[in-house]
Amino acid sequence: MVDSNASSGAPEETPNPSPDGNAPSDSDLALDNLARKVQESLALGKRHKFWESQPVGQFKDIGDTSLPEGPIEAPTPLSEVKQEPYNLPNPYEWITCDMDSEEMCIEVYTLLTNNYVEDDENMFRFNYSKEFLQWALRPPGYFKSWHIGVRVKNSKKLVAFITGIPARIRVRDEIVNMAEINFLCVHKKLRSKRLAPVMIKEVTRRVHLEHIWQAAYTAGIVLPTPISTCQYWHRSLNPKKLIDVGFSRLGARMTMSRTIKLYKLPDTTATPGFRKMELHDVPAVTRTIRKYLSQFIVAPDFDDNDVEHWLLPKENVVDSYVVECPETHEITDFCSFYTLPSSILGNQSYSTLKAAYSYYNVSTKTPLLQLMNDALIVAKRKDYDVFNALDVMHNGSFLKELKFGPGDGKLHYYLYNYRIKQTLKASELGLVLL
């Protein structure tokens, strides 16, 4: 992800009273709104100077049905791709980050833990574990050269990072080789140095050198131009802690004990044959997931190797469960979630929020509602505080029913050098990027 999705599930506060102590009038609020919109549009003009020079869908082209779907620019002959890295400001140098190295992993982990995505109120910051980073960045066929760092020449301190991994992504009937771009992070003290555009250009150059011309990425901010916009939903598993740390608030006319009772889950799962996924399940899970994903407009094209890498359980990284029919031993259903804790900033009692994120879920025999309730039960048993889900795929069918609440975080999906004619609904998207 290029930016924020760590926002809380709390509803918005009422507006602050005006300085004379009275509530603001409608006209005051309308003016405030207008002023904010003007400021935002001015900021957009500056912010998008870089993106307007790139082969991405542009705001001015929205609604223009004459533009063809597919690549925006044709591939360049490899001999014409820039062979040398882009220039960095003088005190800095490029490095390739070897994610096999424990030492390097610790450096990347430290940079991200202290400088990566925060929520709007600066209360929570993503805290990707070293094991998670190694899983996320070393899928089948990955390129070490796409794990890019920026160091200070003198101190050798790592101050910026961006990554790409190879992926096959199907857009309608076309399977496109792409890079998934992620973990763009610049040290807080260097945000004014304009390092991000040169890092994006450098990772693009390295991707082109492998003859790949398209990319997928997500961001919490609006850039030119999202192919889809999704919403985060949050399901409390440990409501007392979530309220204590300010992630969520006690509802109107609700007590803590009533809230705890509201979110209480059964101790055991309900589905016969619900069990942890094992290595021998990979072919059956691949068949099940490929069939399921075929109904979405944009989705990964997974094979057995991908499924083994992305979905076979790894402690504190990814959890996956299958439903094996007790009579036929056929794998009928599948659910999964990955582990992405957040650091809790400035709280005396708690330092970490343990969050599960819904990943890929396939229901053929077990109702999706029941399957996901079982996923909530196992996450609660493993001491997760909250279970998060985007409203992609069929997730919208269970969110309200299972007491998920809408967060204030939106996640925008983008394709680089690939145009899709109309914006997709979240439910038409079969892709989850970490």
Catalytic positions, please? Answer: 434
Phi/psi class of residue 70: alpha, beta or left (left: φ > 0; alpha: ψ in -120 to 50)? left
- The b/e string for 350-372 (b: 16+ C-beta within 10 A; e otherwise) is eeebbbbbbbbbbbeebebebbb
Label the pairing between strands 355-358 and 386-390: parallel
- State how far the alpha carbon of 16 is from the alpha carbons of 31, 33, 315, in Å: 15, 14, 45
Alpha carbon dihedral 110, 307, 265, 251, in 10-degree steps, equals: 50
Cβ atoms of residues 405 and 233 within 8 Å? yes
The first and second tokens of residue 177, run together, are: 């080789």
Alpha-carbon distance of 132 to 338, in angstroms, equals: 9
The first and second tokens of residue 238, run together, are: 């440990």
